[in-house]
């Protein structure tokens, strides 16, 4: 009791580090040598990392073939929607001068296709895709319902505009033997997409699960018949569909299409030689002045063939060094002046 009354009487503030502003604090003591060496070290580090990244990106073997112009007749055909049921194929031969070692990935790449438009991105139904409510097409405008009013599954502008060219790579061992390169169509999605965000509605079989829904207007087949060879790869769980549904951030993007199945001739990767892409051309891009290309590429530890990260590091390093040099110059000049001043 006595103690508390004493505390009440004295208004002396508490002697705590917080209240007396004596929390441990550290102030950098900046000296010219410290700053300069710091700058030089940072610059050296950035340059080093940048160069390593660039070299590693350069080590990647990559082939890209734009086929919109090559398949000009197909492109022209697809400009008119009336011809939607006319099949158009197009073969693009190319020569691989060097073996592509290791895992090889096949991508399709689109130019000028805006998957990042606000309304485009919104136009999907996650509750539908996760299989809980097929009838939920709330956000899918303008592709939510078919003409007769049945809900579209999968609904929305993203699903509707799925990339539907078929790309087959064949290896021309010689002029007579044309061998289809074995490709895997599985394992090209994000794990969370395949196992969490996309679920088929539960039913005995898929076709019955999707009764009461219509296919998206631009699709030729309903969603449960996307892969005729592998029944597991159907419905919302179709890998190509899942890949497409993960929208790209920029208007020029490539998406993983297939990966090399390393068997027989291809155990080491893609051997050098003559190849050709056999493309069933369905996806129209000329209307909006877009382009399509097909990309074959290997990977390294640093990712794909993009030089961006490496360049960013290099430029940062270079700028840092530039700054360091100019600061050193100023420092030396001032130092000279100061010594002169002192001498005087």
Partner 1 sequence: MKYIKPFISEIPWNYSWYYCAMSLFERQDGEQERYLQANNREFNTRFGYPNNTIKTSRYNVFNFLPLNLFEQFQRLANAYFLILLFLQLIPQISSLAWYTTVIPLMVVLSITAVKDAIDDMKRHQNDNHVNNRSVMVVMNGRIKEDKWMNIQVGDIIKLRNNQPVTADILLLSSSEPYSLTYIETAELDGETNLKVKQAIPVTSDLEDNLELLSAFDGKVTCESPNNKLDKFTGILTYKGKDFTLDHDKLLLRGCIIRNTDWCYGLVIYTGPDTKLMQNCGKSTFKRTHMDHLLNVLVVWIFLFLGSMCFILAIGHGIWENKKGYYFQNYLPWEEYVPSSAVSAILVFWSYFIILNTMVPISLYVSVEIIRLGNSCYINWDRKMFYAPKNSPAQARTTTLNEELGQVKYVFSDKTGTLTQNIMVFNKCSINGMFYGHVYDKKGMKVEVSEETEKVDFSYNKLADPKFSFYDKTLVEAVKKGDRWVHLFFLSLSLCHTVMSEEKVEGKLVYQAQSPDEGALVTAARNFGFVFRYRTSETIAVVEMGETKVYQLLAILDFSNVRKRMSIVVRTPEDRVMLFCKGADTILCQLLHPSCRFLRDVTMEHLDDFAVEGLRTLMVAYRELDNSFFQAWSKKHSEACLSLENREHKMSNVYEEIEKDLMLLGATAIEDKLQDGVPETVTTLNKAQIKMWVLTGDKQETAVNIAYACNIFEEEMDGMFIVEGKNNETVLQELRSARDKMKPESLLESDPVNIYLTSKPQMLRIPEEVPNGNYGLIINGCSLAYALEGNLELELVRTACMCKGVICCRMTPLQKAQVVEMVKRYKKVVTLAIGDGANDVSMIKAAHIGVGISGQEGMQAMLNSDYAFSQFHYLQRLLLVHGRWSYNRMCKFLSYFFYKNFAFTLVHFWYAFFSGFSAQTVYDTWFITFYNLVYTSLPVLGLSLFDQ
Find the binder of partner 1 among 131, 251, 269, 273 (CB under 8 A). 251
Find the binder of partner 1 among 5, 6, 8, 27 (CB under 8 A). 27
For the CB of residue 218, give the shortest distance to partner 1 in the complex, in Å: 8
Nearest to 68, CA basis, from 286, 279, 288: 286
Report how far residue 143's alpha carbon sits from residue 263's, in angstroms, rounded to the nearest whole number: 42
Q: Which stretch binds partner 1 (CB under 8 A): 83-91, 115-123, 147-155, 201-209?
A: 115-123
Q: Give Cβ neighbours of residue 293 (< 8 Å, ≥ 6 apart).
A: 64, 65, 66, 67, 68, 108, 109, 111
Find the binder of partner 1 among 176, 289, 341, 344 (CB under 8 A). 289
For residue 258, list its beta bridge partners.
106
For the CB of residue 269, give the shortest distance to partner 1 in the complex, in Å: 34
CA 253-257-262 angle, to 5 degrees, is 135
- The two beta strands, 291-297 and 166-172, are unpaired
Residue 155 near partner 1 by CB under 8 A: no
For the CB of residue 254, give the shortest distance to partner 1 in the complex, in Å: 16
Q: Which stretch binds partner 1 (CB under 8 A): 190-198, 225-233, 248-256, 260-268?
A: 248-256
Residue 125 near partner 1 by CB under 8 A: no
Kindly identify the residues of this chain, within the stretch 175-234, that bind partner 1 according to CB under 8 A: none
Q: Which two tokens stand for residue 57?
A: 């990106």
C-beta of residue 73 within 8 angstroms of C-beta of residue 215 = no
Find the binder of partner 1 among 1, 25, 228, 263 (CB under 8 A). 25
Task: Identify which of residues 144 and 207 has a Cβ nearer to partner 1 in the complex.
Answer: 144
Binding-site residue total for partner 1 (CB under 8 A)?
35
State which H helix or E strand residue 270 sits in. Answer: strand 269-270
Report how far residue 226's alpha carbon sits from residue 231's, in angstroms, rounded to the nearest whole number: 9
Residue 21 near partner 1 by CB under 8 A: yes
Find the binder of partner 1 among 12, 28, 30, 82 (CB under 8 A). 12
C-beta of residue 22 within 8 angstroms of C-beta of residue 28 = no
Q: Which stretch binds partner 1 (CB under 8 A): 95-103, 228-236, 249-257, 261-269?
A: 249-257
For the CB of residue 80, give the shortest distance to partner 1 in the complex, in Å: 11
Residue 312 near partner 1 by CB under 8 A: no
Report how far residue 81's alpha carbon sits from residue 341's, in angstroms, rounded to the nearest whole number: 83
Find the binder of partner 1 among 3, 13, 177, 343 (CB under 8 A). 13
Residue 5 near partner 1 by CB under 8 A: no
C-beta of residue 278 within 8 angstroms of C-beta of residue 284 = no
Q: Which stretch binds partner 1 (CB under 8 A): 42-50, 110-118, 163-171, 204-212?
A: 110-118
Place of tokens 């610059």: 43
Report how far residue 282's alpha carbon sits from residue 218's, in angstroms, rounded to the nearest whole number: 10
State which H helix or E strand residue 321 sits in. Answer: helix 308-343
Residue 301 near partner 1 by CB under 8 A: no
Report how far residue 132's alpha carbon sits from residue 198's, in angstroms, rounded to the nearest whole number: 10
Residue 160 near partner 1 by CB under 8 A: yes
Q: Which stretch binds partner 1 (CB under 8 A): 20-28, 188-196, 227-235, 312-320?
A: 20-28
Residue 10 near partner 1 by CB under 8 A: yes
C-beta of residue 257 within 8 angstroms of C-beta of residue 47 = no
Task: Identify which of residues 12 and 177 has a Cβ nearer to partner 1 in the complex.
Answer: 12
Report how far residue 110's alpha carbon sits from residue 295's, in angstroms, rounded to the nearest whole number: 11
- Rg of the chain over all Cα atoms, to the nearest angstrom: 31
| Residues binding partner 1 (CB under 8 A) | 9-15, 19-21, 23, 25, 27, 81, 112-114, 116-121, 123, 142, 157, 160-161, 249-251, 284, 287-289
């Amino acid at each position: 009791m006595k103690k508390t009354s004493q505390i009440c009487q004295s208004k002396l503030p508490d002697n705590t580090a917080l209240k007396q502003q004596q929390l441990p604090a550290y102030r950098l003591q900046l000296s010219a040598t410290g700053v300069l060496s710091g700058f030089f070290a940072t610059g050296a580090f950035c340059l080093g990392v940048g160069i390593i990244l660039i070299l590693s990106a350069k080590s990647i073997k990559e082939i890209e073939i734009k086929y919109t112009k090559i398949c000009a007749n197909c492109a022209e055909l697809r400009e008119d929607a009336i011809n939607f049921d006319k099949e158009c194929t197009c073969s693009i031969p190319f020569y691989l001068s060097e073996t592509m070692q290791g895992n090889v990935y096949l991508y399709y790449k689109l130019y000028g296709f805006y998957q990042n438009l606000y309304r485009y991105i919104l136009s999907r139904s996650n509750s539908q895709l996760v299989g809980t409510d097929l009838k939920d097409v709330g956000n899918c405008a303008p592709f939510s319902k078919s003409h007769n009013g049945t809900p579209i599954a999968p609904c929305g502008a993203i699903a509707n505009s799925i990339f539907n060219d078929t790309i087959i790579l064949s290896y021309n061992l010689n002029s007579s033997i044309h061998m289809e390169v074995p490709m895997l169509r599985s394992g090209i999605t994000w794990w969370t997409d395949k196992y969490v965000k996309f679920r088929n509605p539960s039913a005995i079989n898929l076709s019955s699960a999707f009764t009461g829904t219509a296919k998206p207007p631009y699709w030729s087949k309903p969603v449960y018949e996307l892969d005729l060879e592998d029944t597991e790869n159907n419905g919302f769980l179709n890998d190509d569909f899942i890949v497409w549904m993960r929208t790209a951030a920029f208007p020029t993007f490539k998406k993983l299409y297939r990966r090399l199945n390393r068997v027989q001739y291809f155990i080491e990767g893609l051997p050098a030689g003559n190849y050709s892409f056999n493309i069933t051309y369905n996806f129209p891009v000329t209307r909006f002045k877009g382009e399509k290309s097909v990309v074959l590429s290997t990977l390294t530890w640093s990712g794909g063939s993009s030089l961006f990260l490496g360049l960013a590091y290099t430029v940062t390093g270079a700028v840092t060094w530039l700054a360091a040099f100019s600061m050193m110059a100023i420092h030396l000049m001032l130092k000279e002046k100061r010594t002169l001043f002192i001498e005087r």
